[in-house]
Structure 1
Amino acid sequence: MGKTRGVPKNSTGFESMLRGAALRVTRPRVSVLAAVYDHPHADTDSIVGVVRADLGDVSRQAIYDVLRALTTAGLVRRIQPAGSVARYESRVGDNHHHVVCRSCGDIADADCAIGETPCLIASHDHGYAIDEAEVIYWGLCPRCSTASSSSASSSRGNP
């Protein structure tokens, strides 16, 4: 498995992360970091809800700005599978991919089969210095797969 960051157990860990990235420690930044760590692959609306529950009235724009700063600093990763809104995760700095449910949109991490960055070699790099490959696997999550099987059985008249 690649390099991952441990989940800080309290705000002191998040404050250290912010300082280590040369970012000023603010309550919104700490709260957003905590939300991303506590809710992997959360979309912006979900993060807004968690941060507002924690801090009270924080503007949506302030949260967008914090997410942008954290992403730029490499403390969180922004992913956006086709047809999906942007989502954020705390697993950064390693070479992992994602599996996405076509039905409910659930997202899970999928480690690279090779483990090295990048795990795919382009047939022609066009002179680029490639340092990352992004793969998204699509399918049905176990819950939707079971529901789909049950629905198909019901429609055929099977008990």
Structure 2
Amino acid sequence: MLNAVAARPHSDVDRLATEARRELGSVSTQAVYDVLKACVAAGILRRFEPAGSPARFEVRTGDNHHHLVCRGCGAVFDSDCVVGHAPCLQPSDTHGFVIDEAEVVFWGSCPRCQAAAGGETAQFH
């Protein structure tokens, strides 16, 4: 499973189950869920769930990076945090929480979807 996630970062369970079956033969989707859950709990994998999308998995853990998600095709790319350490954002009021992480997801259109839409390249600056 780790090899499948490493080879296909940001894959969802269905894609990883397909890859596991290709490599191992008969593997239940529940077994894939169980292995992924155990790997996330052990800190071997990172799970993130972009709004409106299934959970995705990756081997890149512990470095406080963020994600870029294409609204058109759903492609996901890593983006290094400019601050580097977690949390890189602070809320205006913690309400007594001890903050240890801030999850940042950037949304937009990838170059391929921009080209398919006629080259629209509006960007946030």
Q: TM-score range by the shorter chain?
A: over 0.9
Q: Which amino acid aligns with 2:96?
A: G
Out of 60, 78, 81, the residue aligned to residue 109 of structure 1 is 78
Q: Which amino acid aligns with 2:61?
A: V
Bigger share in helix: 1
Q: Which residue of 2 aligns with 1:93?
A: 62
The count of residues paired between Structure 1 and Structure 2 equals 120
Q: Which amino acid aligns with 2:3?
A: A
Gapped runs of 5+ residues in structure 1? 1-31, 153-159
Matches within 5 A, 1:65-76: 65-76=34-45
Runs of 4+ deviating beyond 4 Å: none
Cα deviation, 1:44-102, whole Å, max 9, x if unaligned, reads 11100111111000111111100110011110011110010111011101111100000
SS in 2 for 1:51: helix
Offset, 1:134: 0.5
Considering only aligned residues, what root-mean-square deviation do their CA atoms show, in Å? 1.1
1:33 to 2:2 alignment: yes
Q: Which of the pair has more CA radius of gyration?
A: 1
Q: Which amino acid aligns with 2:108?
A: G
Percent identity over paired residues = 54
Cα distance in 1 for residues equivalent to 2:19 and 2:46: 18
Q: With the length of structure 1 as denominator, give the TM-score of the two structures.
A: 0.73
Matches within 5 A, 1:41-52: 41-52=10-21
